[in-house]
Amino acid sequence: MATEAINLKPLIATSGNKSTGVVVTGFKDAAVDPVRTEHGTLYQLRVKQPGLASAINQFNIRFAYDVAQNANVATPRVVPVKAPDGGQQAVLEVEFDSEEALLEHLTFIEGRLTAAEKARKYDLKADLAVSGQSERATYHVVRYRVAGQVWDTTSATAGSNRTRHRHDLFGLQPAVGLLGLPQQLLGGPDGQRWRNPADWRDRYTAQLNTYDGIDPEDIEIPEDDAEKAKEAQEARRWAELAASALQVATTDAAFVIGYVPAEGARPDFDAALASTNLRTHLRGPLDFTGTNQAMASGRKLVNRAYADNAITELEHAVLTGTTPAAYLHDDPREAVVNLVRLVDRVVFPSDIPSLRRTTKVLVEPSPAHLRAKHAETRGEIRSALLTAAVGGVDLPAAAMDTPHQKIVRQGIPTTGLSAAELIAAATSAEPSDGRDAARAELAHIAVPGLVNGKVLLGSYGSTGDRRAVSTKLVAARITDDGVRLFIEAIDAFAEVMKLRAGHKVTPRPGASAGRLRRVADGSVATTDKPADSEWFTSHWPVENTDSDGGVGTPSALSPSEQWAEKLKDTTGLVDNARKAVTTLSTHFEDMHALVGPDREMTAEERESWQDELDKLEPIVVKAGTYLRKLRYRPTDTGTTTGGIGDFTFGTEEAE
């Protein structure tokens, strides 16, 4: 881990001497933070990280669903590393059957990161270049065993995309953090790697420093010597990388160095890591205080609805946070149903007078012209009102099921059934339109409980499986298992509402038996754990196996590295193309002066000239076609698999 940190001396400071005993005083509370989770306490070492980051992480909860559902991706065995006393160290051990299996897995993960990147509404790499990555990443140590080779690396628990882009700004592929650096990049043999970062970081940095301060344009490319031209192009590339690397700043980072399992619980280090990552990404996009914009807009809507007699005095008090939502009904389930329908009636109304009122208060266009941005704004208002009504429970808007803009124009439909009737209809054994409608509304009403219980992740950033919330709910409500989970979420949220109201809460019968699914050995099994994110994302099974292997460096290039090698061949070709096209354009201009309207040409001469132009035209057209293809940026965000031919850059054509 030393290669990941700078200014190590304060961390390894000691006191005492041989006679009194030497004590390491560097790891004090000022440098190590305890992070408590339901699976135990993690200890994070806070240090300054240099420009080069660690590895992207393939094993946290962000990718678990995608990998578990993809039969073409090699799934590694993940086991805890045992200490001599039998305890579990803060290290995970991952075993792949072969180098090919590891590369296939890595290709898939890189593809998922690329897909997430394309789905962003901003350029993270450009943001990092400006800010130097101000947000801290968190890493932990992973021990890899692959076909007899063993090596350790630090992987990002939170911050895979930031780590990837810090690599990119240094001219490195994502594979380098996990596999090590191909020695051929620095003139070494093909097929060999430096696995240990200490073996290659200094070498790579020294190469960058060699070209630091050199303007790439000052490196001339000779046109008469192909070998020297290639060397000059490589030197220009390193000069460009050196300039790019200066955009990455030294930042704060956290490294997990300790783990103490929860008392009485089975050690589950990877689950503890995943839970911290969930907490990081489940934070709300808004600070739901009494002064934020969403709450201010929500309060205007509520006050106006009350003035128009559209809601009662009690409902007004609940939505403004002065009366607990539990008072909406004596039955806890009915209180949850009433609250969700109340907020929907105010924020997503269906009757004409309420549609007009909402549009006017929010200064929106007519319902027919509402767009996605208006739906998102209303979703934030809905979260703010639910938060206020329940009494401060943070419900992130990004994790809620914000209706599509078409539904917003018409309002959210409701069956009008009581909670008991709704559950009875949803759990009916006979398929019917009524059962489908009941399940759809039950899923919608359950969402606040699912979000509060960290079961449902929003489709923002790179967190979770990137299906939209509505897609996840549709997938869940077609199963009896999913409907039972919705009922549990409603009951759990009802308990939160009662607690916030100061009411006594008695444990529900069977509340400890969740209807969750765990994927193990390709089969789906019911567990006895309470509701959490496993229902939607699955979880890595823990196996107690040990294996031995030697240390080695042979390794093939990953698809992204193969692609980077191919891109090197294009270095300088754009400049050559620009010169060639400029020459061609100038040549045409000169030719036009010779054969233009002022030139007296015979019919035979002009016919011969036209024949020559006809031969030239398809060449120019073909060049224009490829120019458009080069400018095209594919927008496919699907899963990437396969080899170099269809890696993460897409194969679609622009036509």
pLDDT tens, residue by residue, 27-60: 665 588 888 877 788 888 888 877 777 887 655 4
DSSP-derived secondary structure for 579-646: HHHHHHHHHHHHHHHHHSTTS---HHHHHHHHHHHHHHHHHHHHHHHHHHHHH------S---SSGGG
CA distances from 200 to 179, 188, 374, 472, 577 (A): 12, 11, 51, 44, 36
Q: Which of 358-362, 545-549, 620-624, 629-633 has the lowest mean pLDDT?
A: 545-549
pLDDT digits (tens, 9 = 90+) for 586-601: 888 877 777 766 667 7
**Residue 79 β-bridge partners:** 93
Residues 552 and 574: their CA atoms lie apart, in Å, by 40
Residues 604 and 324: their CA atoms lie apart, in Å, by 95
pLDDT at 277: 62
Residues 448 and 429: their CA atoms lie apart, in Å, by 26
Pick from 37, 35, 33, 34: nearest CA to 454: 37
Q: Which residue has the tokens 């909860």?
A: 61
**Whether residue 383 has pLDDT greater than 80:** yes
CB atoms within 10 A of CB 572: 17
Determine the 3-state secondary structure of 371 from DSSP: coil
Q: Which of 51-60, 228-237, 371-380, 517-526 has the lowest mean pLDDT?
A: 517-526
> Is the CB of residue 201 less than 8 Å from the CB of residue 209?
no
pLDDT at 517: 26
**Whether residue 150 has pLDDT greater than 70:** yes
pTM for this prediction: 0.54
More confident residue, 48 or 122: 48
Which two structure tokens, joined as six digits, stand for 342? Answer: 């109340």
pLDDT digits (tens, 9 = 90+) for 495-525: 888 888 888 776 555 443 333 222 223 333 3
**Whether residue 347 has pLDDT greater than 90:** yes
Mean pLDDT (the chain, rounded): 75
- Phi first, then psi: give them for residue 261, nearest 5 degrees: -60, 155
> Is the CB of residue 161 less than 8 Å from the CB of residue 462?
yes
Residues 584 and 580: their CA atoms lie apart, in Å, by 6
pLDDT at 592: 74
More confident residue, 450 or 333: 333
More confident residue, 596 or 134: 596
